[in-house]
Structure 1
Amino acid sequence: MKRLIEKGLMFGNLVEVTSPALVERYNRALESLTGKRTKLVDFHIDISGYSPEVGDELGDHLYLNQGGCNRQFILLTTEQKTAPLLNAQFSTSRGILRQFIEDNQPQLFALTARDAVAGELLNSVYDVSEPAKLFDIRQIAIEADTTKAHVAGAKKLTKLIERFRREDEAWWDDLLIAEMIGLAKKTGDVTRQPIRLKSVTFRQDNFWTKHFGGLYVFRAVEHPAAIAAGKKAELGKLPIDYVFSFEDRNQIARFLEINELVEPIVKAPGINAAAILQQKMDFIIVAVASEKGEDLNRASRRDLRALARAYSKDLPEEFHGLAALQRWAEGGGKWPRINSAHPAYFYTLRAKPHADRDLVNRLLADLSPLDVRQLFICHKEKFYSAYADWSDAKKTYVANFLETEYQVDKAGAREALFGTDATMEEEQPTVDVVDLVGPWGAVMKERR
């Protein structure tokens, strides 16, 4: 993991906290939320205010996310909006936090200039001890205030001002005036500079959760389903008609097709499909060659071709299927019949442009783990978990590739792979990784 951290591929873009004033603000917020304090004089925080160093100190990396259900957060600066979200339990959490900060940026900028803002992502579920409880989560609301209750004080002062203006006898109410003056000393002039955070509710219809081995929930599609990375039998009865596991390849392929969520890479507009397929093949060669003990430190494309010839009998079906598709894409081969039963099938797809593009690309990365670039971009939790078990040769090759080919132009790489406006939120690993250092049935597709 040290190699990834040094190259900025892990724990990148965290916000550094070194000022004694900010450390004290953080401690006030931390104590108000958890009853705990840190003795550290400097540390780093993510978009939610979670710090890996503080987690190590407390011996609890879920100190702001007990039960992994209602995430708490600490804002010291609006600059946190560009930071990653560590140990994410839901795919929607970072986007919700970022939108909250952006929607309230002027107010949060003013508030964090004098105090920390502490809050919580609230839903109606207080624990997810059973898989079925995940389906009770429908919307997320945010509750936030400073440790000195500036927002609540401003709200109360605003009501008192309205009362003062409305009641004729208010001029002679010494208690009312004294209370207004006391609140104004803390909040400032709320008539000129209102302190009000927008109350926004976020829908959570389609999402991924780390709970129960990884589960994808698609409710806001024409044909809803849940897809489990683990064993679906262990999930029990779920309040959704169709539940698949990764072994149900045909059903998952059908689900993606009838909901019009994916498109073949070779038919996607504006991309170099042959180059993308070649890179996927290269990663498969690297996986096989590294197991054979080959040194891949400075391996070029020519070297990889030589390794492919040397180990052609050891290359899996994923490689041969992608090679056949690449020959067709370059105009020199027959159209290969690669159906959902073929191991290469999900490697040949990408999400169509729609609101859940990132979620679908995450699912496809989960289903095509040998494509380590897509795995790193779309599903960092699984990438870091897989990385820990690789040979040193493969770790070196992949880390160098991501540093030189992806880090230098993240936006360009994502657009080339996934299309225009492909956001692919820059999420980061779960901390536990760092501790290592019913049948689908016949459903007719409706054509619009």
Structure 2
Amino acid sequence: MKRLITRGLMFGNLIEVSSPQLVARYNRALRMLIGRETALSDFHIDLSGYSPEIGDEFGDHFYLNPNGANRQFILLTTAQKEAPLLNIRFSTSRSILTRFIEANEAQLFALTARDVVAGELQGSVYAVDSPAKLLDLRRVTVEADTIGGHVADAGKLAGLIERFRREPDGWRDEALIAGMIQLARRTGDVTRVPIHLPAMSFEQPDFWTSLFGGLYVFQGQKFPAVISRGGVTGLGQMPVGQVMDFTHRNHIADWLERNGLVEPIVQARGTNGGAILRQKMDFILLDAADSLGIDVGDARRTELRKVAYKLGPALPDEFLGLAAMLRWVEEAGPWPQISSEHPAYFYTLRGRPGPDRDLVNMLLSELSPMDVRQLFITHKERFYEDYRGWSEKKREYVADFLAREYQVDKEGAREALFGPEPKMDELARPDMREGPKPTRELRDIVGPWGAMRPGQGRAQGERR
């Protein structure tokens, strides 16, 4: 992993904690949250305040998330909102924490100037001891305060001030006045500089979790479902309409289509489908060459083309399917027949714009794992897991490619691949129980690859 770290592809943008004052504040928070302290004099923290170095010291990298369902966090600075979130158990955790910080940034900036802020992402269950419990995690509430209780004290002081103003003889109540003075010494003048950090709740009907081998939970769709990376037999009874695993390719494809969650890359607005297909084909060739021990030199496209010539009839079906699609894009071939049973099928799709776009792209990356760029962008946990099993040559090539082609312009690369980022109002979904109602075009009705291209007399694609 050192190769990834040195290129900023792992543990990048962590916040350094090295001043004695900040270390002392962090230890105060640790004592309150878990009853332990670190002996380290400097370390780095992520968005939630988790430190890989302290995780090594404690022998527990989930020291801020012991039960897996209610992640605790420590804020030393609002700059943590730009840091990554490590050891993710739920895909929604990063966006929830980031939105909480941004919504309360002025208050948090003032509070962290005097003390450390600690809190928790509270779900509706205290422990997830069975897969069925995941379906109870529909809402997450974020509550936070300083270790010194400034927010709680400010609330008490505001109440006493209101009582003082309301009661006719309040100015004679010495106990009331003494209480106000005592609280004001800790909070300051809350009438001029209010301290208010309300609990915030976020809906999470759809999410991925690393628990139970990796599950995708979709409860906010018209047709709810749970999709498992492993088998479905060990999940037990799940109170949801459809339960699938990655071997159920036809069922997953049909479910994605019925909910209007995907679109073909080559027909997505504002996308250079040909360039994306070529890069996916390069990754597939690299994987095939690596598994067969074929030298790819510096893995330039000319070298990879030679690999394709060497493989000949042994070229992977994923490569052949994307090559057929590329020929159609370049107006040099017929509309390809790629059904959901074809190994290339999920490589040809991306998440449709909407609140679940990133989650769907995350799912697609696991269904098309040879596309290492999409895997890294949308599902770093799976990327790091797969990376450990690659050869040194593939590790070097992929790390170099990501540092060269992705790190220099992350936002541009994401927009080119997946479209513009969803707006905040698109992410807010107070109630999605009825599911989205996307516009159904002809290609949606007959399947992504069942529609005619312009000028064709009839559809040539397969229907599922």
TM-score scaled by length of structure 2: 0.90
Cα distance in 2, alignment partners of residues 380 and 317 from structure 1 = 26
| Aligned residue in 2 for 1:266 | 266
Q: Aligned letter for 1:7?
A: R
| Aligned residue in 1 for 2:454 | none
| Aligned residue in 2 for 1:27 | 27
Cα distance in 2, alignment partners of residues 48 and 342 from structure 1 = 41
| Aligned residue in 2 for 1:426 | none
| Aligned residue in 1 for 2:284 | 284
Cα distance in 2, alignment partners of residues 17 and 346 from structure 1 = 43
| Aligned residue in 1 for 2:429 | none
Cα distance in 1, alignment partners of residues 212 and 169 from structure 2 = 62
Q: Aligned letter for 1:91?
A: S
Gaps of 5+ in 2: 424-437, 442-464
CA contact (8 A) 2:223 2:241 kept: no
Cα distance in 2, alignment partners of residues 267 and 283 from structure 1 = 22
| Aligned residue in 1 for 2:215 | 215
Q: Aligned letter for 1:409?
A: D
Cα distance in 2, alignment partners of residues 84 and 417 from structure 1 = 21
Q: Aligned letter for 2:105?
A: Q
Q: Identity over the aligned pairs, expressed in percent?
A: 62
TM superposition shift of 1:241: 1.2
Cα distance in 2, alignment partners of residues 76 and 322 from structure 1 = 48
Cα distance in 1, alignment partners of residues 322 and 296 from structure 2 = 22
Gaps of 5+ in 1: 424-444
| Aligned residue in 2 for 1:185 | 185
**TM alignment of 1:147-166, pairs within 5 A:** 147-166=147-166
TM superposition shift of 1:446: 9.0
**TM alignment of 1:40-55, pairs within 5 A:** 40-55=40-55
3-state SS in 2 of match to 1:154 = helix
TM superposition shift of 1:199: 2.4
| Aligned residue in 2 for 1:436 | none
Deviations 1:397-438 (A, max 9, x none): 111100101111111111111112269xxxxxxxxxxxxxxx
Cα distance in 1, alignment partners of residues 93 and 29 from structure 2 = 20
TM superposition shift of 1:292: 3.2
Distance 1:352 1:303, change over 3 A: same
| Aligned residue in 1 for 2:453 | none
**TM alignment of 1:126-205, pairs within 5 A:** 126-205=126-205
CA contact (8 A) 1:205 1:218 kept: yes
3-state SS in 2 of match to 1:29 = helix
CA contact (8 A) 2:143 2:200 kept: no
- Paired residues in the alignment total 427
Cα distance in 2, alignment partners of residues 211 and 8 from structure 1 = 27
What value does the CA root-mean-square deviation take over the aligned residues?
Answer: 1.3
Cα distance in 1, alignment partners of residues 211 and 112 from structure 2 = 33
Cα distance in 1, alignment partners of residues 58 and 295 from structure 2 = 41
Cα distance in 2, alignment partners of residues 296 and 114 from structure 1 = 56
| Aligned residue in 2 for 1:411 | 411
TM superposition shift of 1:335: 1.1
Structure 1 residue 85 corresponds to structure 2 residue 85:
yes
3-state SS in 1 of match to 2:67 = helix
| Aligned residue in 2 for 1:36 | 36
| Aligned residue in 1 for 2:230 | 230
Q: Aligned letter for 1:21?
A: Q
Q: Aligned letter for 1:163?
A: R
Structure 1 residue 329 corresponds to structure 2 residue 329:
yes
Structure 1 residue 362 corresponds to structure 2 residue 394:
no
| Aligned residue in 2 for 1:63 | 63
Say which structure, 1 or 2, has more relative contact order (CA 8 Å, 6+ apart): 1
3-state SS in 1 of match to 2:140 = strand
Cα distance in 1, alignment partners of residues 297 and 29 from structure 2 = 46
| Aligned residue in 2 for 1:381 | 381
Cα distance in 2, alignment partners of residues 296 and 146 from structure 1 = 55
Q: Aligned letter for 1:202?
A: F
TM superposition shift of 1:314: 3.2
| Aligned residue in 2 for 1:351 | 351
| Aligned residue in 1 for 2:446 | none
CA contact (8 A) 2:215 2:228 kept: yes
Cα distance in 2, alignment partners of residues 247 and 413 from structure 1 = 30
3-state SS in 1 of match to 2:217 = strand
3-state SS in 1 of match to 2:326 = helix
CA contact (8 A) 2:265 2:349 kept: yes
3-state SS in 2 of match to 1:74 = strand
3-state SS in 1 of match to 2:169 = helix
Q: Aligned letter for 2:116?
A: A
| Aligned residue in 2 for 1:392 | 392
3-state SS in 2 of match to 1:311 = helix
Q: Aligned letter for 1:344?
A: A
CA contact (8 A) 2:125 2:137 kept: yes
CA contact (8 A) 2:297 2:303 kept: no
CA contact (8 A) 2:261 2:360 kept: yes
TM superposition shift of 1:291: 2.5
CA contact (8 A) 1:358 1:422 kept: no
TM superposition shift of 1:295: 4.2
| Aligned residue in 2 for 1:303 | 303
TM superposition shift of 1:97: 0.4
